[in-house]
Amino acid sequence: MAGVQVKSEIGKLRKVILHRPGRELLNLTPDSLERLLFDDIPYLEVAQQEHDAFAQKLRDNGVEVLYLERLMADVIRDNRQVREQFIDQWLDEADIHTPYWRGLCKEYLDSHYADAQALVDKTMEGMALSEFEIDRSNMLVDLVSGPTEMIVDPMPNLYFTRDPFAMIGNGVSVNRMYSVTRRRETIYGDYIFKYHPDFAGTPRYYTRDSSFRIEGGDILNINDHVLAIGISQRTQPDAIDAIAKSLFNDETSTIDTVLAFDIPKSRAFMHLDTVFTQVDYDKFTIHPGILGPLTVFEITPDGKGDIRIKEMDSDLESILAKYMGHSVKLLQCGAGDRIAAEREQWNDGSNTLCIEPGKIVVYARNNVTNDYLYKEGLDLVVIPSAELSRGRGGPRCMSMPAWRELLV
């Protein structure tokens, strides 16, 4: 199973990429929360226990669990040149204010982080001013900085491996992220898809240096011909035009239709998968809040290397039925209770990870939605969620499938 294969949202999951939350969460402070896209500070030890329980449930269901941080360490472990290149790129993008501090950071990494795994973990954790024991009496900027000042920000959102890159069929979109804080996350994917023996050579349909923003949470593989992408707070329509062209003109891709779902642009609905995920051949979870305002556009090749766009004028069920070839049922988060829907939506009640048709991983805390999904015949793999949910992402956000069995 070298390379990637993701031609649906529901085919039996065989291989997945996760990131175990690490010390980067310890560098969240009340003042940095908003900028770093968190609403509260998770208790790391418990978040790790919950994440380990998630990974174990996946293994118990026959899924090979790969960790982003280990794949990245594999890439640099025995390759001095790639290691140097990685450090330089990470420093270049770390928003370090002066060449003097860049030099100090490089020296610090070289002298303290010879071990590949320790180095990768450190790049994720960030660097605090307090780690450097140097005379700062000649630098006004350092003297006025508070003790929690970070020289390099942490990357606390890394455990949402869904977003920085996304598998589409046998290829990958390495994304340009919406926020400054998440932009550096794609460095890891870039290196893994360039240099890791299991992933090098995977066709790329989008690159991190593109002009427009797109995130993996907006990308849903409906089947091997149809891809759905959210126009959301995170993903710009221009990026969807670009990726559609790239998919239609690349002979490794079988996608011939992209459906662009125009969802409200807000934090509660940040990605399409925050409000809409497939759970079975003919079932989707959905947040009722998007049903009214949803507009869907169909994008197809025009036969001359460009694209043709058509606004769909039917309801979501009819649109999905048209492209899937059978009727579908939409299962509403909160089971029809609007307050439960909004509360559980905030904790990713619609953001399930399907591990085979009809079997989904869900957060324990969304009990109203979960009871309803259970009564609708779904097989639920329930995971603890007190701390993980503070980052505003659920089981789908916390996982990037690398291999799913094809549907028969």
**Quick check: 163 binds ligand CIR (CB under 6 A)?**
yes
Give the residue with the Cβ less far from ligand CIR, 255 or 400.
400
Instruction: Determine, following the binding rule CB under 6 A, whether residue 50 of this chain makes contact with ligand CIR.
Output: no
Instruction: Report if residue 270 touches ligand CIR, rule: CB under 6 A.
Output: yes
Provide DSSP, 332-346: EGGGG-HHHHHHHHH
By CB under 6 A, name the one of 173, 221, 274, 285 that touches ligand CIR. 274
Instruction: Identify the residue among 157, 277, 285, 366 touching ligand CIR (CB under 6 A).
Output: 157
Terminal Cα distance for the chain, rounded = 19
The answer to whether residue 21 forms part of the interface with ligand CIR (CB under 6 A) is no
The residue within the footprint of ligand CIR, chosen from 109, 397, 400, 402 (CB under 6 A), is 397
Q: Are 53 and 385 in contact (CB under 8 A)?
A: no
Task: Choose one: 44-52, 154-162, 305-313, 366-374; the region binding ligand CIR (CB under 6 A).
Answer: 154-162
DSSP helix/strand/coil, 249: coil
- 273 contributes a contact to ligand CIR by CB under 6 A: yes
Q: Which stretch binds ligand CIR (CB under 6 A): 258-266, 270-278, 283-291, 337-345?
A: 270-278
Query: Closest distance between ligand CIR and the C-beta of residue 270, in Å?
Result: 5
Query: Phi, psi (5° rounding) for residue 96?
Result: -85, 130
83 or 162: whose CB is closer to ligand CIR? 162
The residue from 189, 391, 395, 401 that contacts ligand CIR (CB under 6 A) is 391
Distance CA 124, CA 196 (A): 19
Measured distance CA(232)–CA(217) in Å, rounded = 10
- 271 is a contact residue toward ligand CIR (CB under 6 A): yes
Alpha helices by DSSP H, 196-265? 237-248
Interaction of residue 37 with ligand CIR, rule CB under 6 A: yes
| The only residue of 12, 57, 83, 162 in contact with ligand CIR, by rule CB under 6 A | 162
Q: Which helix (H) or strand (E) holds 317?
A: helix 316-324
Place of tokens 């305002």: 293
**Is residue 105 flagged as an active site residue?**
no
Which residue stretch of 49-57, 184-192, 353-361, 389-397 sits at the interface with ligand CIR (rule: CB under 6 A)?
389-397
Interactions with ligand CIR, residue window 195-234 (CB under 6 A): 217
Task: Decide if residue 176 touches ligand CIR (CB under 6 A).
Answer: no
Check binding of 27 to ligand CIR (CB under 6 A): no
Count CB atoms within 10 A of the CB of residue 401. 26
The set of residues, in sequence order, having a beta carbon less than 8 Å from that of 245 and lying 6+ positions away, is 305, 306, 307
Q: Can you read off the two tokens belonging to residue 93? A: 């993008």
The string of DSSP letters for 40-107 reads S---HHHHHHHHHHHHHHHHHTTPEEEEHHHHHHHHHHT-HHHHHHHHHHHHHTTT-S-HHHHHHHHH
Residues that bind ligand CIR (CB under 6 A): 37, 157, 160, 162-163, 182, 217, 270-271, 273-274, 391-393, 397
> Which residues have a catalytic role annotated?
397
